[in-house]
Chain A
């Protein structure tokens, strides 16, 4: 079961220049919300930005991570 901190670190390691704020939404360790800011989002649609973050976790989304609620912003 990933923690909010692990999710933050994985996003920041995978997306160039990203800073992420992640919180465990329900305290249950499977619904998270994240605000991710990165220059790598420049020129991408919201869909593409969210897909970049989802890609970090692959099949874990919908599995151990039931939900990852996202807000993305380019910096």
Chain B
């Protein structure tokens, strides 16, 4: 056993899942607007992805951010590499690069994900993890 089983588990999850999204809540019930938009972009492309809810234990987020050097949630990894958070994923989605990165066909009519980036994020998720 390593001294940091949680970090090992996170590393392993990133390695074993080609597309993995660390988010607040689940794709079906996202707990933050940024996580919701990111999951919606992946779903709009019909891209299969693993999702990890970081809310149940604040240490998941601490270890993940220490590992990735990225302070916020969500975080999308493809083939073991950090792609970015909500802003970058949305930029890549809109430019078509996300479909390319994921190796999926962009949808013919390129639907916008449910929430547009000009809207305010849903409230009620403030600083749960302080």
Contacts and interface: CB of A to CB of B under 8 A. Distances in A.
A24 to B, nearest CB: 11
Nearest to A64: B127
B28 interface: no
A63 B72 CA distance: 10
Interface residues of B, number: 23
Contacts of A63: 127, 130
Closest 5 CB pairs of A and B: A61-B71, A26-B120, A46-B88, A54-B71, A70-B87
B129 A62 contact: yes
B89 to A, nearest CB: 10
Contact of A54 (B70, B121, B129, B130): B70
A23 B117 CA distance: 14
Contacts of A26: 120-121, 123
A68 B71 CA distance: 10
A46 B123 contact: no
A75 interface: no
Interface in A51-75: 51, 54, 57-59, 61-63, 66-71
A51 to B, nearest CB: 6
